A and B are shown apart, each in its own frame.
Chain A
Amino acid sequence: MTRLLVCPPDFFGIEYEINPWMRLNNQVDHERAILQWNSLMAVFERDIGVTLERLTPVPGLPDLVFTANAGVVVGKTAVVSRFRHPERRREEACFEQWFRDHGYKILALEPGLFFEGAGDLLGFPDYWFGGYRQRSDIRVFPILSEWFHREIIPLELVDGRFYHLDTCFCPLSGGELLYFPAAFDRYGQTAIAERIPPTKRLVVPEQDALRFACNAVCIDTHVVLPAGCLMTERMLHERGYHTHAVPLDEFMKSGGSAKCLTLKLDE
């Protein structure tokens, strides 16, 4: 059974600007945010049957809700993130504590080597992709590759709006890839095309990509994604996936959506 780490949005808000989506003058409607988060959790728990692990929110850490950036988990081993922006660095200790408390073995990257967890490391069972340049440092991937014995293909993120790999790239359980090619340069696009045949590549239109259609959570045949991405949903239906669209626009104010709000604990 799938387990997801989540963090209630008790202290979620816009307190700084570290990506093009964040605007201090575009404040979060706190009540709506809580409602949206609760309905997302209801989809996971009730509709899909996922087990949720809830991290205790901490005042002053508004982005702790985005647990995708806690780190990356493989079996009972966790690599805790090292955030590029100082604003998020205080989250590292909270995530690390949670992993320790729950019996995970912690592998630590050397300081100064930025890595933003599952936000920048996604993939299929036998190989992964790593997003770099915006947040994570490419030098992390050979290290992780050695630790986890997985091939990691680095992809440069070239559009600041898609600052984490999980904002423009979503591997699906059937081997398909939901992605927005323009977030990558031609090397990245070619590298993706050489791994994933055309029939398995689902290209998200820009309109949906900007609603973070790719920031979706795929569990078996279920895909949970932000509301309003109709063309993407249609593509997914054609491939036999059940879609669950959840309004998450309060979190989009911070540059995050369904996937950013979760961290898969068991692969």
Chain B
Amino acid sequence: MNIHQETIVLRGHIIDSLLLAKVLDIILMMGGTFDIEDVRIGKTREEPSLARITVRASSPTLLNDILKSIQPHGASVEREADCRIEAAPADGIFPEDFYATTHLPTQIRLNGRWIDVEHIEMDVGIVVDQERATARAVPMGEVRRGDLIVTGREGVRVIPLSRPRERDVFGFMESHVSAERPHGHVIADVASRMNRLREQHRREGDGCRVLLAGGPAIIHAGGRDALTWLIEEEFIHVLFCGNALAAHDMEADLYGTSLGYGLTAGRTVPHGHEHHLRTINRIRAIGSIERAVTSGVVKNGIMAACVRKHVPVVMAGTIRDDGPLPGVITDSVQAQRAMRAAIDGVKLALLVASTLHAVATGNLLPATVPTVCADINPSVPTKLADRGSFQAVGLVMDAASFLSELARLLGRPA
């Protein structure tokens, strides 16, 4: 995380004396940054004021230098305590007072030192390895009896996101969802990020990836070709979906329909409603999507592109799935685990036309990952934001238009 920080307290007549201004200026002049956590202004002239300020620096040495320079002006480092830890009482159960995480970068204080919590995600706990002095986020279901779990709030700090260097739509890091908002500049910003990330991915491999989580409306709405192109051109490096997206994608390849509708004719074809079942049955008979593609049965489309480009696909099942296709994970906890394992290195997430997959993915992503949620239904980006993924930029638009426009900006021939 490379953030070194300390909270200081400044009290007294710090406003009229310009002491607060002086301390803040010193922090900035020395190359640090600060956040004012709290300012209480005295109600009368005699009553002192108080400011709590978090000072941040890029190195422990710089942080120390800054603290040394502001201490003569009355800034005192707030007394801090180590985090409290308790052993988990049983497998799958946190101690009663467990600390529930946010998806913001988080640190805990262990033996007097602040350490980063690895693999942070929201709504899980923190398990501590005392010997190695490390900490990581742990989902409730994965805790084992005796694991040391952080409890209470003491000795835990959450670091607000700093403004990204890039001054694009993600710079605001807050979800405004409106159908009336123009989409063009948002998609243009996403495209320019994807262009940069593709270069970085080619240099760094899996350390830098773009994730797309999508629903079957991508196929119905006509976004299949654009998404296929994005995968083939190496703009997307991980795919999260369900049974349906994969089934209708391959149905389109095998039958030219999506849930029975002729994709080109635009009307139902006789017995079309069976196509996706026959597709699923066929792939089950072959044994895997990968084999269906390598054997030449499935020739084109999203799944074929993923197989050819070695893009990992995590398919999470739901209660209404037909089949399901081989590879669909029907145990939700297992599916979460597989998604969690696949998000390392994700630098941009596109959540397209799926409520469940969007929210599930949003839950797993640290707040530091720029996220776009495109859905025709405004309640999806809203729901995502309400559940805490405040960094997601919401676009109320049809999946096909979003993907086609994105692909066009990235150079797909018309």
Do A and B pair up? The answer is yes
Considering the complex, which residues of chain A in the window 163-222 have a beta carbon less than 8 Å from any beta carbon of chain B?
A: 185, 187-188, 190-191, 194-195
A145 touches B17 (CB 8 A): no
Considering the complex, which residues of chain B in the window 10-62 have a beta carbon less than 8 Å from any beta carbon of chain A?
A: 11-13, 16-19, 21-22, 45-46, 48
B74 touches A194 (CB 8 A): no
Residues from chain A with a CB closer than 8 A to the CB of B72 are: 132-133, 138
A141 touches B46 (CB 8 A): no
Query: With A138-B73, A142-B48, A154-B74 given, is the CB distance from A191 to B11 under 8 Å?
Result: no
Residues of A whose CB lies within 8 Å of any CB of B are: 126-127, 132-133, 138-139, 141-142, 145-146, 149-156, 185, 187-188, 190-191, 194-195
Per the bound structure, the CA–CA distance linking A150 and B76 in Å amounts to: 22
Per the bound structure, the CA–CA distance linking A195 and B13 in Å amounts to: 13
Most chain B beta-carbon neighbours within 10 Å: one of A145, A155, A190, A195:
A145
B46 touches A187 (CB 8 A): no
Would you mind naming 14 contact pairs between A and B with Cβ atoms under 8 Å apart?
A127-B45, A132-B74, A138-B72, A139-B12, A141-B13, A142-B11, A142-B13, A146-B48, A149-B46, A151-B13, A152-B13, A153-B13, A154-B13, A191-B18
Residues from chain A with a CB closer than 8 A to the CB of B45 are: 126-127, 151
Determine the main DSSP class of A at the interface with B. Answer: mixed
B16 touches A153 (CB 8 A): yes
Considering the complex, which residues of chain B in the window 217-273 have a beta carbon less than 8 Å from any beta carbon of chain A?
A: none
Not counting A142-B11, A150-B46, a sample of 17 additional A-B residue pairs whose C-beta atoms are within 8 angstroms of each other reads A133-B72, A139-B12, A142-B13, A142-B48, A145-B12, A145-B46, A151-B16, A151-B46, A153-B16, A153-B17, A154-B74, A155-B17, A185-B22, A187-B18, A187-B21, A190-B18, A191-B17
CB-nearest residue of chain B relative to A154?
Answer: B17
Residues from chain A with a CB closer than 8 A to the CB of B12 are: 138-139, 141-142, 145, 152, 154
Shortest distance in angstroms between B17's beta carbon and chain A's nearest beta carbon? 4
Shortest distance in angstroms between B224's beta carbon and chain A's nearest beta carbon? 64
Residues from chain B with a CB closer than 8 A to the CB of A151 are: 13, 16, 45-46
Residues from chain A with a CB closer than 8 A to the CB of B76 are: 139
How many residues on B have C-beta within 8 angstroms of the other chain's C-beta atoms?
Answer: 16
Per the bound structure, the CA–CA distance linking A194 and B12 in Å amounts to: 18
B74 touches A139 (CB 8 A): yes
Residues of B whose CB lies within 8 Å of any CB of A are: 11-13, 16-19, 21-22, 45-46, 48, 72-74, 76
Most chain B beta-carbon neighbours within 10 Å: one of A138, A146, A155, A194:
A138
CB-nearest residue of chain A relative to B19?
Answer: A154
Per the bound structure, the CA–CA distance linking A138 and B76 in Å amounts to: 11
Partner of B22, one of A139, A146, A187: A187
Residues from chain A with a CB closer than 8 A to the CB of B17 are: 153-155, 187-188, 191
The 9 closest A-B pairs by CB, nearest first: A142-B12, A138-B74, A187-B18, A153-B17, A151-B45, A187-B22, A191-B17, A149-B46, A142-B48
Per the bound structure, the CA–CA distance linking A190 and B72 in Å amounts to: 19
Per the bound structure, the CA–CA distance linking A153 and B48 in Å amounts to: 10
Residues from chain A with a CB closer than 8 A to the CB of B46 are: 145, 149-151
Per the bound structure, the CA–CA distance linking A241 and B67 in Å amounts to: 46
CB-nearest residue of chain B relative to A194?
Answer: B16
A195 touches B73 (CB 8 A): no
Shortest distance in angstroms between A43's beta carbon and chain B's nearest beta carbon? 34
Per the bound structure, the CA–CA distance linking A246 and B11 in Å amounts to: 41
Residues from chain A with a CB closer than 8 A to the CB of B74 are: 132, 138-139, 141-142, 154
Shortest distance in angstroms between B46's beta carbon and chain A's nearest beta carbon? 5
